């Protein structure tokens, strides 16, 4: 039974007001940002016309991972859920390590996106371009706007997001149609070879051109699942729709980009492709004479990052809220506003800490890469949680999980490896520093208010630290150290043997991680009743009495049946 202070902390519950369209738009708004304006040219430079295969590989790889999260999001619909899953399956050590890496990455995104907005708009406003102080003010003002939107009730946040995301999603289809109508030289697909760099070039583009990472925002609906109206049905649908739609859009964008390039641009082959412009698609629009499209894309380049920054302000605050619920951080971070039910303390704290990254723009790429570490814990968590018989009769159960789970873990491991040594070692240091700080603070500063690491946590979680160190070592000795699988002559592991080695090592750690998971009776589902479907809205407190329908015992605290307690009024 949780401590009384923890029960009191959560007598207010998040409101379940997000519909399917809200969740789909969150996923699409996070996936389809401004990255497609750049990745198409980089992928074509590395893989030629075969870059369309790179986008397909990247999409299918992320689909594998998303299938696992579709099951988890349907089974355990909670705010900041990607932090909650490893806590349930492997305890505090893995839970905090994943939570810290995920949150620190998400918290940096709003500042990074506000910086992108200013970078795109400054060339068109001389006053802004000439004053670095004004640029800082505008960046902070944008983050402040994200905070204000997220302090409203989740229904208001979702409506604002749906509207802005809809406008943002108009750009890719308009670009596809306009570019295809203006120029389509299908001979480009064969004139210099379909795959001039071979299979290595295709995989290089998948990893190094940002192709696979372009799909990485799909987990936004999972993070907001605690506020979904019907998560068991809507979370899987939202993920499938978002990933499927994104694959189609990215394939078409890459295809029209390849077909539209004038022959003189490719005179020296794909490797020499260089479009001098604010973004390659803007440069392409200028080359083929579609000037209005170039202007539209310039505006969209500034608008898209703002939408993404707003979404990540919401998801990062839910992660901080979830870390409080896991009792990794003090209870105050789990407070909800009594009227809007927004995690207002978490919104402020997460955003303010994110603002501190502003002077360290060079580190933001490293910080956001920390989220890559967290993809591998979904498959292991799901495998462990599946051992429980009460994991939700009405939730989505992934067919073929015994194959898809290990494959998803391997895909996540390859993402870490492909990130490269120069980034991986910095991310690992960042994560380990967070763990050390947690040990010190939980034992000496927050004692009694948060969890502390125990021997049991180390028994069930040591494998994850060993796994990260092993992947770091492989990154050091492999071709990933040098940023390209094409560097056959460098490193101890060469392409494609490095991929085989990483895959085999990952599979060993996957089964070790599953075996090290908590026993079904130890999985701490103390504040979630999996036997009740989300349709009963068990996570919402009735305004009149503060009781949660369908959960006897502790009104206002779902999942603690049979424990008497007085009603808690909201």
Can you tell me the distance from the alpha carbon of 504 to that of 318, in angstroms, rounded to the nearest whole number?
Answer: 35
Q: What domain range includes position 281? A: 15-522
User: What is the domain-level CATH number for residue 138?
Assistant: 1.20.1740.10
For the segment 224-239, the average pLDDT, to the nearest whole number, is 89
Task: Provide the mean pLDDT of the chain.
Answer: 82
Is residue 564 one of the residues assigned to a domain? no
Least Cα distance to 141 among 350, 358, 320, 316 occurs for: 358
Model pLDDT for residues 371-380, shown as the tens digit of each residue: 888 889 999 9
Cβ–Cβ under 8 Å, residues 320 and 80:
yes
Is residue 567 one of the residues assigned to a domain? no
Model pLDDT for residues 178-202, shown as the tens digit of each residue: 999 998 889 999 998 999 988 888 8
Model pLDDT for residues 251-281, shown as the tens digit of each residue: 999 999 999 998 888 888 898 887 755 578 8
Is residue 477 one of the residues assigned to a domain? yes
Tokens of 300: 């969209």
Tokens of 276: 């001098």
Residues of the chain with pLDDT > 70: what percent? 85
Is residue 485 one of the residues assigned to a domain? yes
pLDDT band at 5 (very low <50, low <70, confident <90, very high): very low
- Phi and psi at 174, nearest 5°, equal -60, -40
pLDDT of 12 = 57
Is residue 534 one of the residues assigned to a domain? no
Tokens of 189: 């697909």
**Model-level pTM?**
0.81
Can you tell me the distance from the alpha carbon of 182 to that of 174, in angstroms, rounded to the nearest whole number?
Answer: 12
For the segment 58-81, the average pLDDT, to the nearest whole number, is 90
Model pLDDT for residues 423-460, shown as the tens digit of each residue: 888 888 888 888 889 889 888 888 777 888 888 889 99
Number of domains making up the chain: 1
Can you tell me the distance from the alpha carbon of 10 to that of 331, in angstroms, rounded to the nearest whole number?
Answer: 9
Tokens of 262: 């004038």
For the segment 325-349, the average pLDDT, to the nearest whole number, is 87
Model pLDDT for residues 146-178, shown as the tens digit of each residue: 999 888 877 777 888 888 888 889 999 999 999
Is residue 563 one of the residues assigned to a domain? no
- Phi and psi at 480, nearest 5°, equal -60, -20
Residues 148-169 as b or e (16 or more Cβ within 10 Å = b): ebbbbbbbebbeebbebbeebb
pLDDT of 392 = 57
Q: What does the chain come to in residues?
A: 570
Can you tell me the distance from the alpha carbon of 403 to that of 558, in angstroms, rounded to the nearest whole number?
Answer: 34
How would you class 297 by CB atoms within 10 Å of its CB: exposed for 0-12, middle for 13-18, buried for 19 or more?
buried
3-state SS, residue 447: strand
- Phi and psi at 79, nearest 5°, equal -70, 140
Long-range contacts of 479-486 (CB under 8 A, 24+ apart): 480/417, 480/418, 480/419, 480/420, 480/421, 481/420, 481/421, 481/422, 482/420, 483/208, 483/420, 483/422, 484/204, 484/208, 485/200, 485/203, 485/204, 485/207, 486/197, 486/200, 486/201, 486/204
3-state SS, residue 240: helix
Is residue 296 one of the residues assigned to a domain? yes
Can you tell me the distance from the alpha carbon of 458 to that of 453, in angstroms, rounded to the nearest whole number?
Answer: 7
Is residue 570 one of the residues assigned to a domain? no
User: Cα 95–391–333 angle (5° rounding)?
Assistant: 35
């Amino acid at each position: 039974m949780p401590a009384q202070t923890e029960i009191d902390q959560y007598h207010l519950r998040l409101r379940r007001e997000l519909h399917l369209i809200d969740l789909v738009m969150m996923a699409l708004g996070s996936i389809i940002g401004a990255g497609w304006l750049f990745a198409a040219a980089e992928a074509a430079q590395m893989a030629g016309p075969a870059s369309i295969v790179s986008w397909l590989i990247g999409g299918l790889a992320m689909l594998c991972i998303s299938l696992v999260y579709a099951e988890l999001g349907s089974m355990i619909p909670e705010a900041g859920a990607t932090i909650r899953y490893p806590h349930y399956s492997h305890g505090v050590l893995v839970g905090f390590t994943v939570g810290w890496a995920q949150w620190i990455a998400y918290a940096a995104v709003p500042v990074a996106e506000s910086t992108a907005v200013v970078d795109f708009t400054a060339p068109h406003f001389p006053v802004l371009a000439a004053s670095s102080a004004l640029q800082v003010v505008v960046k902070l003002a944008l983050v402040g706007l994200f905070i204000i939107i997220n302090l409203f009730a989740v229904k208001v946040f979702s409506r604002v997001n749906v509207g802005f995301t809809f406008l943002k999603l108009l750009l890719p289809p308009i670009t596809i149609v306009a570019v295809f109508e203006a120029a389509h030289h299908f001979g480009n697909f064969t004139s210099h070879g379909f795959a001039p760099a071979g299979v290595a070039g295709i995989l290089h583009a998948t990893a190094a051109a940002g192709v696979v990472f372009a799909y990485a925002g799909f987990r936004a609906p999972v993070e907001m699942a605690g506020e979904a109206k019907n998560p068991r049905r809507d979370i899987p649908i939202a993920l499938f729709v978002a990933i499927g739609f994104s694959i189609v859009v990215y394939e078409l964008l890459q295809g029209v980009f390849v077909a539209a390039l004038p022959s003189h641009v490719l005179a020296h082959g794909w490797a020499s492709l260089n479009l001098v412009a604010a973004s390659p698609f803007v440069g392409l629009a200028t080359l083929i004479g579609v000037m209005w499209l170039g202007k539209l894309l310039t505006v969209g380049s500034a608008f898209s990052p703002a939408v993404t920054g707003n979404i990540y302000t919401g998801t990062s605050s839910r992660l901080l809220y979830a870390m409080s619920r896991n009792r990794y951080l003090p209870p105050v971070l789990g407070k909800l506003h009594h009227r809007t039910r927004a995690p207002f303390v978490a919104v402020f704290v997460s955003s303010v800490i994110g603002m501190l990254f502003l002077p360290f723009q060079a580190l933001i790429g490293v910080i956001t890469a920390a989220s890559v570490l967290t993809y591998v814990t979904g498959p292991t968590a799901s495998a462990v949680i599946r051992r429980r018989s009460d994991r939700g009769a009405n939730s989505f159960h992934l067919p073929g999980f015994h194959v898809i789970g290990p494959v998803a873990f391997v895909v996540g491991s390859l993402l870490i490896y492909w990130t490269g040594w120069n980034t991986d070692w910095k991310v690992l240091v960042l994560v380990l520093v967070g763990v050390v700080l947690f040990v010190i603070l939980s034992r000496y500063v927050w004692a009694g208010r948060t969890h502390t690491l125990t021997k049991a946590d180390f028994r069930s979680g040591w494998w994850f630290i060993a796994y990260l160190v092993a992947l770091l070592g492989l990154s050091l000795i492999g071709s990933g150290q040098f940023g390209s699988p094409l560097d056959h002559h460098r490193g101890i592991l060469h392409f494609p043997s490095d991929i085989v080695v990483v895959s085999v090592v990952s599979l060993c750690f996957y089964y070790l991680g599953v075996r090290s998971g908590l026993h079904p009776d130890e999985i701490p589902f103390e504040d979630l009743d999996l036997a009740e479907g989300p349709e009963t809205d068990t996570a919402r407190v009735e305004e009149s009495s503060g009781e949660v329908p369908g959960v006897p015992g502790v009104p206002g605290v779902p999942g603690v049946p049979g424990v008497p307690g007085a009603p808690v009024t909201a």
